[in-house]
Structure 1
Amino acid sequence: MVSLPHPLPGAVGLSHLSAYDWEAADGVCGGSPHLHLVCTEAYVVTGGRGAVQTLSPDGYREVPLEAGSVAWFTPGTVHRMVQGGDLRITVLMQNSGLPEAGDAVFTFPPDVLADPERYAATAKLPAKEGPEAEAAARKRRDLAVEGYLPLREALEAGDNGPYLEFQQAAARLVRDKVPTWRELWRAGALATAERTGAQLDALEAGSPDHLAGSGSYDSRPSRIGGYGMCGRRDEYELPGTTLPYHGA
């Protein structure tokens, strides 16, 4: 089996975010609401304050965030990072490179979600840096908020229909990507878990031979302040962190 070379613990993805301070239509500053289809995401707050707004079968929730807070959300939970003042977080993402391979769907209005080509064009940024990238990221955020607010209002009114319809639309958008995701999962998270099983078998048999391959590794962000879904993102150009794994 192909495996991720020297993955982070548990083959998690990693990035750092500073929440957007752009004001949205509802007067709130923050990021682009979205969900993940197969990945649990965690926020580890390293500075500032703010909140994360979530939509789930339990309804709408707003969780305060401050330094030391940890919040996480399972697949299908719509989440929106809200800026309260210099909010900075470290993001831990399940299944290494899957989110970078498309396991995230914005809460765009239904007419955009219904057209895969239009959705892809709207979600993609035309550049990595500069005024054009910033304008596109802000426009993308605003459109995601436009679709998010009716979902939230419906849930608060006791109607989960629009939220469930959004989940269905998101699943349709990503269906064709599943074979690629499966290979990334096999190479990262699954291979890591199976490697641990093999190590346990070896230790149980009295053999520590796998320890001969031990080593230490380090890295620094390869890009500072990129435009992510929720804010300006510091990325690591390593397979399985903020890049999908395409190795052989």
Structure 2
Amino acid sequence: MPSSQQVRATARRDRSTAAVVLTVALAAIVGAVLGYQSVAAPAPSATSSVVTTQGDVQGRAGHVPDPPLPPAGAGRALPGGVTVDDGVVPDGVTVFDGEFPAVANLDPDLLSAFRRAATAAAGDGVEFVVNSGWRSPAYQDQLFREAVSEYGSEEEAARWVATAETSLHVSGDAVDVGPSDATAWLSEHGAEYGLCQVYGNEPWHYELRPGAVDHGCPVPYADPTHDPRMQQ
């Protein structure tokens, strides 16, 4: 019979072998589980939703952001159907941007005076922006209808917007200029170029008064309803 030492040694070898087999088996099971999870979980795609810190969802699958709208004009009408061709002015247009009808259709003497004044103002760090210049009758009619809707009556609207029949914008004889530093510059220097504020309630509305070069600008009307030209 084997001795007791031999029996104990054999038992130890058997336990060690069993431990190795069990370790290998557990490793195989864990590997199989992890492999299944990596296959089951889809890889993130470029179109997956991404939530920002503000909670906004970006990059929805299949969503393409809308392109910005082009400037009003050929191909895109503003409410009321008017376009750049009617005198609508995109942001940032100056008296030197003659490609826009709002500028190109102004009275040549008025435009020349404004360009000379704008050149001088630029030396003082001031830029003239054309908020409105020439307008088509259709555009002027739209503005007048909007003013009636805003102010509640034609009488009140007339303090701010003329009809197409009387508007100095339709005839190309007026420019609404901005920003405020431009109107401030014109209030001080405009008469030197024959450019005068015509209405007390519209510090942005300027017309050409050639006599102002020698005699200064006349006193402005309180508003357009006091202007005899508006009584047609």
Question: Structure 1 length normalisation: TM-score?
Answer: 0.19
TM-score (norm 2): 0.20
Work out which structure has the larger RCO, using CA pairs closer than 8 Å and 6 or more positions apart in sequence.
Answer: 1
The structure that is helix-richer by fraction is 2
